[in-house]
A and B are shown apart, each in its own frame.
Chain A
């Protein structure tokens, strides 16, 4: 139906035009707000809420494809809690997450501080810093597998060139996990760099100028001014990295596949095996939900720190 624009705008002496129902909806602030939120809500319902509810209900079922599911009560949960492999994998995952995230935050902040100054070639350097981030994780892991190779890898070549012995980065169970963490740090530190860099660029200049005038040292300035101001950003990026690090899989698939032995077998690896190799959806979802609860606890701790930091700021 063509819009009768001649009567849209009320003119003195002329009665106001009748709006369509949709038009009235647009005019109403409360309705308009929900209309804008609708796509996001639909997305959340379909891709987050429904799968989560499905996972929770499936965790109480004996559901091994292709057989039909049957109610199993707490059997799956009892199995998860009593499964030594689960807790071993959880411990390995926690170790991975803590070390990777801490190193990424510290290293990323240091690099961001370095980039936050004017120097020759700064544009090129900043551009190069983002390269690891754009590489696909699996491709990255394959490349690193070759770098780590004890026979022809560049890293061992360099070590031997300076008189050090060969290192079995991926075949030695005492260091394999750290070798995999190094790959994660290499790939994801740039994310921290650019988030912190953006935060540094947005800081007000006056407090720093005042500190400089008062003769404050660089360390004092960083500790008392820079760090408190960027703390909320650091906590946010830490939360993001924590959630992502818990889901590590691609790097392992291209390198150790959970080995040597089970020294790099993370929780995601275990869940994948249970769900997509054994097709035991009941147990896989029980593990997933338990991990979700643990991650929620950890992120909540960080969130509380974030709220505190914002209030203090």
Chain B
């Protein structure tokens, strides 16, 4: 570098050597850092797999006859990088099947995959399926049923698949199941939690001031009025004090995902469900067959939920009206807010990083107020027109195996297998900033076990479309473009229209 480039014709100077040495050091450090962490994780995975030898792992994948390359869709982000660097090379080495990874942001995942499926292009072998897509894609025959694949390719057959799926959260598996068959296996649990600054809630001065102002002790909010009060209490201007420190910038009670993205409707859902309400609910006959849906909005519960959200917006940064989940999580990470009341627990590593950025900060997680967090998962399944369904099946099984989910958890993800989530390895204090939300997430995900099937959210084949409309209405309400009642009435008409045109069962009311 600095030695060979020598336009002056004289020997290399000291400056060039120093520059070259610095550059080399930077490159070496860059290469050493991630690779070292990856090697450590590989060792941990190998140890855990060896300690759980009875569980399915990569070494148990039989010979795959079809060596055609497979294309896999996953959510873009850290997971995609880890998949490419750590897991796929192992899969290819074992099976001889090359794997191409296509990372997609969640905003385009439905539309992009849908276009390929509708066009029958065979572009993807393994699909990423959010809970809302499963009924539609399963009903339209876009995804292969897992039991059928197991019968065809797995020596353990369908019974083996039943055993394989046992450690997964029943509620999440319910979302990935249609007409009694699982079509997808969940790998990324995004159940929400209340992420908050425990140091602020524990500060003696703040506690005294809160009790004096509101007449009850400051506790982690369990109800929505408590949440609004805490948000109001912690919202301060620059120059005021917070936990004994003078604020250099404005500080806010909450961060919200109030931008024109689909996640705003997850926040609304958490509030509506937490108050005992719904958008639209599934109605079954006595044999368990889905008869149809009842639209419940607009009703008093949804109206109060909207008013609560508007109240909370007063205590969120003004920029929140343009935020999606990364910005909301970063707001806590950067010490800008006291709470993110509805945050996906797979973003705990982001919110918890506030401890590294703000001196004295302590992050914690609890159940969302109302106790009904937005829940769900991303799963993976095999496309109906996969060029290599055999390899795709084994890839799905590998990725969601104890080994695969362990690797996912080590990388900071929120797995969907209880045997991984509750592994003592992740409960240790030194893993807290990465996996500290697991215990809470476990409890909250379990609480949904029997209620998932009651929600139109997780059973309608038109949910991929209805979900967008929920977000638009939530955004209109947040932006005060319409009255709450008018917005909900408009939404009710749209749900009815979409369900009638694209849905699996009629609206009954």
A-B contact pairs, 24 of them (CB 8 A): A64-B501, A66-B140, A84-B490, A149-B319, A150-B318, A151-B334, A170-B322, A171-B322, A172-B318, A173-B481, A259-B261, A259-B475, A260-B258, A260-B321, A260-B322, A261-B479, A262-B475, A262-B476, A263-B479, A276-B111, A278-B465, A278-B468, A278-B502, A280-B502
A-B residue pairs, 3 tightest by C-beta: A259-B260, A261-B479, A171-B322
Q: How far is the CB of B140 from chain A (nearest CB, A)?
A: 6
Q: Are A261 and B476 touching (Cβ within 8 A)?
A: yes
Q: How far is the CB of A284 from chain B (nearest CB, A)?
A: 13
Q: Are B260 and A277 touching (Cβ within 8 A)?
A: no
Q: Are A261 and B478 touching (Cβ within 8 A)?
A: yes
Cβ proximity bits A158-198 to B, threshold 8 Å, 1 near / 0 not: 00000000001011110000000000000000000000000
Q: Looking at the complex, which one of A66, A149, A260 makes contact with B118 (CB distance below 8 Å)? A: A66
Cβ proximity bits A29-50 to B, threshold 8 Å, 1 near / 0 not: 0000000000000000000000
Is B259 on the interface with A (CB-CB < 8 A)?
yes
Is A53 on the interface with B (CB-CB < 8 A)?
no
Q: Are A276 and B115 touching (Cβ within 8 A)?
A: yes
Q: How far is the CB of B302 from chain A (nearest CB, A)?
A: 18
Give the docked Cα–Cα distance between A273 and B475 (Å). Answer: 16
- Given A168-B322, A171-B322, A259 contacting B479 (CB threshold 8 A): yes
Is B110 on the interface with A (CB-CB < 8 A)?
yes
Cβ proximity bits B452-471 to A, threshold 8 Å, 1 near / 0 not: 00000000000011001000
Q: Looking at the complex, which one of B111, B321, B476, B480 makes contact with A171 (CB distance below 8 Å)? A: B321
Q: Which of B260, B261, B468, B481 has the most CB of A within 10 A?
A: B260
Give the docked Cα–Cα distance between A28 and B7 (Å). Answer: 64
Q: How far is the CB of A173 from chain B (nearest CB, A)?
A: 5
Q: Looking at the complex, which one of B258, B259, B319, B480 makes contact with A151 (CB distance below 8 Å)? A: B319
Q: Which B residues are closer than 8 A to A by beta carbons?
A: 110-111, 114-115, 118, 140, 258-261, 317-323, 334, 336, 464-465, 468, 472, 475-476, 478-481, 490, 498, 501-502
Q: Are B475 and A261 touching (Cβ within 8 A)?
A: yes
Q: Are B481 and A263 touching (Cβ within 8 A)?
A: yes
Q: Are B260 and A261 touching (Cβ within 8 A)?
A: yes
Question: Which of chain B's residues have a CB closer than 8 A to the CB of A263?
Answer: 479, 481
Q: How far is the CB of A136 from chain B (nearest CB, A)?
A: 17
Minimal Cβ-Cβ distance residue in B for A260? B321
Give the docked Cα–Cα distance between A259 and B478 (Å). Answer: 11
Question: Which of chain B's residues have a CB closer than 8 A to the CB of A93?
Answer: none
Give the docked Cα–Cα distance between A300 and B318 (Å). Answer: 43
Question: Which of chain A's residues have a CB closer than 8 A to the CB of B110?
Answer: 277
Question: Which of chain A's residues have a CB closer than 8 A to the CB of B336?
Answer: 151
Is A268 on the interface with B (CB-CB < 8 A)?
no
Q: How far is the CB of A278 from chain B (nearest CB, A)?
A: 5
Q: How many residues of A contact B (CB 8 A)?
A: 28
Additional pairs, 4, CB under 8 Å, beyond known A150-B319, A259-B321, A276-B115: A171-B321, A259-B322, A263-B479, A277-B465
Q: Which A residues are closer than 8 A to B by beta carbons?
A: 62, 64-66, 84, 149-151, 168, 170-173, 256-263, 265, 273, 276-280
Q: Are B260 and A257 touching (Cβ within 8 A)?
A: yes
Question: Which of chain A's residues have a CB closer than 8 A to the CB of B323?
Answer: 171
Chain A's interface: helix, strand, loop or mixed, by majority? Answer: loop
Q: Looking at the complex, which one of A151, A172, A258 makes contact with B260 (CB distance below 8 Å)? A: A258
Question: Which of chain A's residues have a CB closer than 8 A to the CB of B320?
Answer: 171
Q: Are A259 and B481 touching (Cβ within 8 A)?
A: no
- Given A173-B479, A278-B465, A260 contacting B318 (CB threshold 8 A): no
Question: Which of chain A's residues have a CB closer than 8 A to the CB of B472?
Answer: 262
Q: How far is the CB of A59 from chain B (nearest CB, A)?
A: 16
Question: Which of chain B's residues have a CB closer than 8 A to the CB of A65?
Answer: 118
Give the docked Cα–Cα distance between A68 and B479 (Å). Answer: 38
Q: Are B111 and A277 touching (Cβ within 8 A)?
A: yes
Q: Are B468 and A171 touching (Cβ within 8 A)?
A: no
Give the docked Cα–Cα distance between A173 and B321 (Å). Answer: 9
- Given A64-B502, A261-B479, A256 contacting B114 (CB threshold 8 A): no
Q: How far is the CB of A172 from chain B (nearest CB, A)?
A: 7
Q: Looking at the complex, which one of A66, A171, A261 makes contact with B481 (CB distance below 8 Å)? A: A261
Give the docked Cα–Cα distance between A280 and B317 (Å). Answer: 37
Give the docked Cα–Cα distance between A259 and B319 (Å). Answer: 12
Give the docked Cα–Cα distance between A170 and B320 (Å). Answer: 10
Q: Which of A170, A259, A273 has the most CB of B within 10 A?
A: A259
Give the docked Cα–Cα distance between A256 and B472 (Å). Answer: 13
Q: How far is the CB of A88 from chain B (nearest CB, A)?
A: 9
- Given A261-B478, A263-B479, A279 contacting B260 (CB threshold 8 A): no
Q: Are A171 and B319 touching (Cβ within 8 A)?
A: yes
Give the docked Cα–Cα distance between A118 and B502 (Å). Answer: 64
Question: Which of chain A's residues have a CB closer than 8 A to the CB of B111?
Answer: 276-277
Question: Which of chain A's residues have a CB closer than 8 A to the CB of B319?
Answer: 149-151, 168, 171
Q: How far is the CB of A195 from chain B (nearest CB, A)?
A: 35
Give the docked Cα–Cα distance between A290 and B323 (Å). Answer: 33
Minimal Cβ-Cβ distance residue in B for A263? B479
Q: Are A262 and B481 touching (Cβ within 8 A)?
A: yes
Question: Which of chain B's residues have a CB closer than 8 A to the CB of A149?
Answer: 319
Q: Looking at the complex, which one of A170, A261, A273 makes contact with B468 (CB distance below 8 Å)? A: A273
Question: Which of chain A's residues have a CB closer than 8 A to the CB of B475?
Answer: 259-262
